[in-house]
Amino acid sequence: MRKSLKYILTFFFLLNIACQIKNEPLEITNIVKDFKNDNSIKQISGIQTDQNLFYIEYFVYVGKKSRVLKGVNKIKLLENNFSEDSLCHKVKKKEFLTNLKNDERNPETQSFWNFENLKDYEVYSCIKNSMRHYIVFDNKSDTIYHRIEEVRN
């Protein structure tokens, strides 16, 4: 039993090394399918980062709050996954900020971190398809800061 566990751990270690991807550009429409062909959503930046086999995506785009929530809420839920949310809900800024990891900040994700300069913003969250969405809405403009991370049980 220990020998097979050792092989499994070695396999995942090597897989991690082999699959290390550099930060890759990404489109929000790859995740929120309802945004495809919608000219009211204009992406500014999007990047996927690898955090030790956990992926985190960061997006900045322009869109109306109601449209963004409608699109994210339409993401289909996984069957029999009771930890998922049917709708996004408003969360306290403190909850959002405590769930951010210090080591995820880097120059390639800087456009996302610009939300810290906002004076007036709201944060919504939900879990869809084992992905936790944090959506920061700038109340002074239609700029959206959207962070998505894998959720594993």
Other Cβ atoms less than 10 A from the Cβ of 22: the count is 9
Chain segment 58-73, per-residue pLDDT in tens: 999 999 999 999 999 9
Q: Where are the alpha helices (DSSP H) in 1-153?
A: 2-18, 65-73, 93-98, 110-113
Pairing state between β 131-138 and 121-128: antiparallel
pLDDT of 28 above 50: yes
Residues 6+ apart with CB under 8 A from 107: none
Nearest to 143 by CA among 86, 57, 68: 68
* pLDDT per residue as tens digits for the range 110-128: 999 999 999 999 999 999 8
CATH dotted code for 21-150 = 3.40.1000
Name the range with the highest mean pLDDT among 47-56, 57-66, 126-135. Answer: 57-66
CA nearest neighbour of 141 among 82, 64, 35: 64
The residues, any chain, with a CB within 8 Å of residue 126's CB and separated by 6 or more, are 72, 73, 84, 85, 87, 88, 89, 132, 133
Phi, psi of 57 (to 5 degrees): -110, 140
